[in-house]
Amino acid sequence: MKKLRIIWHLFPWYILIIFASLFAVSWFVSRYTRDFHRENIGRNLESMARLVDFDLESGLRGISNSRMDSICVELHARSGIRVTVVGKDGRVAGDSLEESAEMENHGDRPEIIKALSGGTGVSERVSGTLKRPFLYVAVPLYDQDGLAGAVRTSISMADLNAELRRIQTRIIMTGAAVAILSVLVSILISRRISAPLNEMKKGISHFAGDDLEYRIPVYGLAEVGDLAGVINEMASRLQDRIDTVELQRSEQEAVFAAMPGGILVVDDEERIVRMNPGASGLIGLSGAEAAGKMIQEAVRNLQLQKFVARTLRSEEPIEADLTLRSESGDVFIQAHGVKLRSDNGNRGKGAVIVLNDVTRIKRLENVRREFVANVSHELRTPITAIKGFVETLMDGGIDSPGEAKKFLGIIDRQADRMNGIVRDLLILAQVEREGEAGDIRFEKGNIRKILEEARLITSPQAAERRIIVSVDCDEKLEARVNSALLEQAVINLVENAIKYSDEGGLVRINASVENGFLEVDVIDQGCGIAPENLPRIFERFFRIDKARSRKLGGTGLGLSIVKHIAAVHGGSVHAESEPGRGSAFRLRIPVDSQGLSAQTKN
């Protein structure tokens, strides 16, 4: 059904009321005017009839019809009123307009009947003689003998009706003008009422379109103005509440997205409602892809599926350790689950699952256990040897000078080995501690000078194996480094190259700057490293050839120290090798290095 505008609801009623009022007023005025004139004419006619009665004091006795007609004509000439004299038998004795002798008996006329009965008769009808409407008034005519007949005066109503029609025409025209004016006024009033409503509609449309800054004009009409003010106040408060909700939602979204762990929200049917980026990374599915899916459909992990089901059944928070499979390996998860409830606390509304990735912690724990086991193993061997040879000396071996000297030499070498392990552990711990604390100082240093110092320190070992160590570096090459740590890293790489090179070989130290990075290469011609061992050579206590490493005095920590020194400089180290053709280690450090801790802060 088509909806009508308010103006078309009000306007027809205005028109109906206006026309009904005009019709009622016009009818009343016309009726009142006609009655008023009729009464006045009636009184005039009655007065005229009384005068005629007064003039005919002697009654009708002795007066012929012709004489009476003459009297009536004379009266009509003076007053303009038709005069008729009727005898008490109804016979017309005289008339001002017609020959009385030719007129029919008027005894049956209502006004004559009334007058002959002693009263005043009034009647309005079409004259049977003149065929025109007349108003008749008849009064009794008396003589000395009593009632002699009746005198009737009459006047044509045609003129009166014509005058009334003119009055009615004027009333109608005036009413039409008033009606037209009223219509215009009603349209203006309707528009004045509908205009504020249209403005309110426009304003509410703005509000529905989230434009709560819009304000509805306040009009002079008290009710409409008050309503507009209330709506504007409502919009203002609604905007404040929306701003508050938006701020809270933004804060919640920021907290939700920034939490390091994964957060998974499910409903009572185990359907995923939402998840944060942390959970997406763990599950391998974005929030948009997972939303609306069952947990069994989105996550192909039985442990997590069972944990979600158990959380929805549990009335208390629960936790469990889970393992997720991924392409990069197992991911260890510490899961916490809590059931959500409605405001009244009676009906469940799903659950929140918090997933904390503890893979790194697990791996660090494994590294710690392996480190303790490796340190124990590395120290146990020299300690066992030292203890064994000391017991041998105490059991009598000291009495044999040759044997005693041999045993003491072994004890000395094992003590040096223990000292080397402890020294490397202290260096490694110091580099890690100072790197994390940001206590390592970086200054502009001459790289050639640092490399020559490292070559000089390792020259005794190189000379012992008749290995040549060469340095290829620009004399003016400088970089922002910690000279002592960089020297230690180069020493460890060169010592490692000397140990695993054949006698009479060559170890080269090259340094240059490429793309803003200082690159230091240590290249040997030794036995090389098998491809399966390359990824692990920088692990602590990892040895490719354990027997040879121990024989040469290696601790298994040298390359791990190099890796940490590169890391605190904000750089890296990697190796390339081919079995039987030697190895190449490259230390890559930013020329303007501020250190790993400083870069992390920046």
Question: What is the fold, at CATH topology level, of the domain defined by 440-601?
Answer: Heat Shock Protein 90 (3.30.565)
pLDDT band at 509, cuts 50/70/90? very high
Say which residue, 233 or 160, is predicted with more confidence.
233
pLDDT band at 521, cuts 50/70/90? very high
pLDDT attached to residue 601:
35
Give the C-alpha separation, 57 to 50, whole Å.
Answer: 11
pLDDT band at 315, cuts 50/70/90? confident
| Proportion of the chain above pLDDT 70, given as a percent | 82
Contact call for residues 371 and 286 (beta carbons, < 8 A):
no
Tokens of 70: 């003459």
Tell me the mean pLDDT in the region 168-178.
Answer: 81
Tell me the mean pLDDT in the region 209-220.
Answer: 74
- CATH number for the region 259-357 comes to 3.30.450.20
The listed CATH number (1.10.599.10, 3.40.710.10, 3.30.1330.120, 3.30.450.20) that belongs to domain 1-209: 3.30.450.20
pLDDT attached to residue 548:
47
pLDDT attached to residue 495:
85
Segment 57-83, tens digit of pLDDT:
555 666 777 888 888 888 888 778 888
The answer to which of 148-157, 383-392, 469-478 has the lowest mean pLDDT is 383-392
Say whether 22 sits in a helix, a strand or coil: helix
The pLDDT of residue 547 is above 70 = no
Say which residue, 345 or 576, is predicted with more confidence.
576
Say which residue, 85 or 284, is predicted with more confidence.
85
pLDDT attached to residue 346:
56
The pLDDT of residue 287 is above 60 = yes
Q: How many CB atoms lie within 10 A of CB 379?
A: 15
Tell me the mean pLDDT in the region 466-483.
Answer: 88
Say which residue, 544 or 293, is predicted with more confidence.
293
Class for the domain spanning 363-433: mainly alpha
Contact call for residues 534 and 550 (beta carbons, < 8 A):
no
Segment 435-463, tens digit of pLDDT:
555 567 788 889 999 899 888 988 888 88
In this structure, what is the dihedral angle of CA atoms 561, 566, 568, 569, given to the nearest 10 degrees? 150
In the sheet where 348-357 sits, what is the strand order? 272-275, 262-266, 348-357, 329-341, 318-326
The pLDDT of residue 303 is above 60 = yes
The pLDDT of residue 526 is above 60 = yes
Say which residue, 40 or 11, is predicted with more confidence.
40
Tally of CA atoms within 13 A in the half-sphere of 496 that contains its CB:
29
pLDDT attached to residue 599:
38
The pLDDT of residue 553 is above 60 = no
pLDDT attached to residue 542:
62
pLDDT band at 597, cuts 50/70/90? very low
Beta bridge partners of 444: 480
The pLDDT of residue 487 is above 70 = yes
pLDDT attached to residue 7:
63
Tokens of 86: 């009727």
The answer to which of 327-341, 536-550, 557-571 has the lowest mean pLDDT is 536-550
Where helices occur in 80-149 by DSSP H, the ranges are 110-116
pLDDT attached to residue 59:
56
pLDDT attached to residue 84:
86
pLDDT attached to residue 566:
83
The full length of the chain comes to 602
Query: Phi, psi (5° rounding) for residue 379?
Result: -80, -30
Tell me the mean pLDDT in the region 393-406.
Answer: 74
Domain with CATH 1.10.287.130 in the chain: 363-433
Which range of 12-21, 186-195, 415-424, 523-532 scores highest in mean pLDDT? It is: 523-532
Domain with CATH 3.30.450.20 in the chain: 1-209, 259-357
The pLDDT of residue 363 is above 50 = yes
The pLDDT of residue 198 is above 80 = no
pLDDT attached to residue 549:
47
pLDDT attached to residue 598:
36
The pLDDT of residue 466 is above 80 = yes
The pLDDT of residue 600 is above 60 = no
pLDDT band at 470, cuts 50/70/90? very high
Q: Spell out the SS3 assignment of 462-479.
A: HHHCCCEEEEECCCCCEE
